[in-house]
Amino acid sequence: MGPRRSFVSSLRFVAVAIGLIALASATPAQKVGLSGQYRCSRAVVNGREVPCKAAPLILSTDGKFQLRGWEGSYLVHGEWVELTDTQIKARAKIEPGHKIVLECYGKHGLVQMVYERRKAELGKTQLA
């Protein structure tokens, strides 16, 4: 009865492992294809829309980001992107349509920056 019991235990282990793998692949924790260059499409300062002249937000495939000289790493947690370096931590919301919304407090109060990534640049025939 010993070999049969270990065989049943092995089958249970394999079934649990397959279930966990299937569950992990179904969770929306990581967004596929989030890396790329995002351009500022909209800026709101204290509730008023202003012309957006911000530098692009660059998310690399290796988990690093760049934003106007600020460099660090990013992690995706559900619908949020956490941007961190050694001293600062910021969260930005991922929205449909390849948008990332970053809110922070600046000299003039609450600032909301909407960054968008285009899948195809104008004038190009291939997708990025």
Which tens digits make up the pLDDT trace of 102-117?
988 878 888 999 999 9
Find the domain containing 17 and state its range.
Answer: 1-30
In a domain, residue 121? The reply is no
Give me the pLDDT at residue 124, please: 55
Spans of the chain, pLDDT less than 50: 7-11, 13-31, 127-128
Tell me what pLDDT residue 93 has. Answer: 95
Where do the DSSP E strands lie in 56-122? Answer: 57-59, 64-67, 70-77, 80-84, 89-95, 99-106, 109-116
Note the pLDDT of residue 38: 94
- Tell me: do 41 and 9 sit in the same domain: no
Asked if residue 112 and residue 63 are part of one domain, the reply reads: yes
Residue 61 inside a domain? The answer is yes
The answer to the question of residue 128 being in a domain is no
* pLDDT score, position 43: 93
